């Protein structure tokens, strides 16, 4: 079954000519994430720490927030993921796992598993549009030095 | 990229992707139940071709395998031609941004 209760999950995979270390850095470094994602991912990425997905203007307002659930650099990162207004509403907090595996000699297989989404909700609609863009942009950024922004 | 075009050049496989788009994360049994016109063997073969082209991400869960539509390679193909015409800020991003901002405004009230 794809759903428990009315929860939805989505899984995205991309193959990137890069190293697990560089993919990890691109996801977790505020300056690098800004260059292909348009937002800065900010945290110390230790389990239990909070993380924020901040706008790149001076105010740096977060558009997403969550906690670090698992952190095994450079292979696996699991975070909770919610709109700032929803961080204290468990039903509206989703979960994102990044799995970074070496593939063949010089590639990385990056899997993003976004689960515990409210089925049909605004977040689900947003991320199903957003992840294909973000992963294509990340691939372009790491392989050519330019994101798709 | 050849694999993606070959995988998409078949109506049954496009139908399978449609089914996953409507209800993501289905098992082989669920997909077969929704497609009585196709044998289990045929569905299984098509899924393997779609997975090989990275249009489906398959995730093991216990003894089952869940199949997810993975549109990332299609996005990459679109980007190759559409991106050149400065359509690179795809609707995807602007819609996500709008959704987030709308959300913010609601949250700020």
Residue whose tokens read 């239990």: A48
Residue A132 within a domain: yes
Residue A133 inside a domain? The answer is yes
* Closest CB to B57 among A11, A61, A148: A11
Q: Which of A10, A130, A139 sits opposite B92 (nearest CB)?
A: A130
The SS3 assignment for A30 reads helix
Q: Which residue of B has its CA nearest to A139?
A: B76
Strand A76-81 and strand B56-61: the pairing is unpaired
Among A52, A127, A133, A138, the residue to mutate for chain B (most B Cβ within 10 A)? A133
Domain annotation covers residue A139: yes
Interchain proximity A125–B68, CB inside 8 Å = no
Judge whether A98 lies within some domain.
yes
Backbone dihedral angles phi then psi of residue A147, each to the nearest 5 degrees: -80, -175
Residues of chain A contacting residue B70, judged by C-beta atoms under 8 Å apart? 11-13
Per-residue confidence (pLDDT) for residue B102, from 0 to 100: 74
Q: Where are the domains of chain B?
A: 2-70, 73-108
User: B88 pLDDT exceeds 70?
Assistant: no
Contact B65, B28 (CB under 8 A): yes
Which of the pair, A53 or B88, is modelled with greater confidence? Answer: A53
Low-confidence residues in chain A, pLDDT < 50: 1-4
pLDDT over 70, % of chain B: 80
For residue A140, tell me if it sits in a domain. Answer: yes
What pLDDT sits at residue A1? 42
Residue A118 falls inside a structural domain: yes
Task: Find out whether the peptide bond into B52 is cis, omega within 30 degrees of 0.
Answer: no
- Report chain B's mean pLDDT, rounded to a whole number: 86
Residue B91 pLDDT grade (very low, low, confident, very high; cuts 50, 70, 90) = low
A149 belongs to a structural domain: no
Domain count, chain A: 1
Q: Is-contact A89 A117, C-beta < 8 A?
A: no
User: What local confidence, expressed as pLDDT, does residue A5 receive?
Assistant: 60
β strands within chain B, DSSP E: 56-61, 64-69
pLDDT at A33: 97
For residue A13, the enclosing domain spans 7-144
The interface pTM score, or ipTM, of the predicted complex is 0.89
- Nearest by CB: A133 against B24, B93, B99: B93
* Minimal-distance CA residue of chain B relative to A149: B89
In DSSP terms, B30 is beta-bridged to: none
CATH number at residue A25: 3.30.530.20
Chain B residues touching residue A118 (CB < 8 angstroms): none
**Residue A61 belongs to a domain:** yes
Residue A44 in contact with residue A61, Cβ under 8 Å? no
- For residue B104, pLDDT over 80 is answered with no
Residue B101 has pLDDT above 60, yes or no: yes
Residue where the block lists tokens 């049954």: B12
Residue range B2-70, CATH number: 1.10.10.10
**What confidence tier does B56 reach under pLDDT thresholds 50, 70, 90?**
very high
pLDDT value at position A2?
44
Burial state string for B44-62 with b = 16 or more CB within 10 A and e = fewer than 16: eebbebbbebbbbbbeeee
**Confidence class for position B84, pLDDT limits 50, 70, 90:** low
Interface test with B, best of A5, A8, A12 (most B CBs within 10 A): A12
Q: Is A13 in CB contact (< 8 Å) with chain B?
A: yes
């Amino acid at each position: 079954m794809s759903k428990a209760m009315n929860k939805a999950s989505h899984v995205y995979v991309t193959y990137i000519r890069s190293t697990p270390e560089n993919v990890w850095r691109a996801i977790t470094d505020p300056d690098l994430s800004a260059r292909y994602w348009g937002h800065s991912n900010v945290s110390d990425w230790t389990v239990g720490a909070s993380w924020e997905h901040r706008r790149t203007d001076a105010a740096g307002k977060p558009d997403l927030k969550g906690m670090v659930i698992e952190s095994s650099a450079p292979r696996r990162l699991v975070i909770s993921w919610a709109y700032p207004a929803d961080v204290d509403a468990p039903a509206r907090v989703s979960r994102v796992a990044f799995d970074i595996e070496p593939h063949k000699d010089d590639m990385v297989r990056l899997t993003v598993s976004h689960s515990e989404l409210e089925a049909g909700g605004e977040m689900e609609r947003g991320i199903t549009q957003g992840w294909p863009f973000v992963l294509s942009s990340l691939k372009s950024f790491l392989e050519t030095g330019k994101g798709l922004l | 990229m050849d694999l993606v075009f070959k995988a998409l050049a078949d109506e049954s496989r496009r139908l399978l992707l449609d089914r996953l788009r409507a209800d993501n994360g289905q098992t082989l049994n669920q997909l077969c139940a929704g497609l009585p016109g196709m044998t289990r063997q045929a569905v299984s073969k098509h899924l393997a071709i779609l997975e090989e082209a990275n249009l489906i991400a398959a995730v093991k869960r216990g003894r089952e395998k869940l199949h997810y539509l993975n549109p990332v390679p299609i996005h990459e193909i679109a980007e190759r031609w559409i991106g050149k015409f400065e359509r690179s800020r795809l609707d995807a991003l602007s819609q996500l941004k709008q959704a987030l901002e709308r959300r913010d405004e609601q949250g700020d009230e």
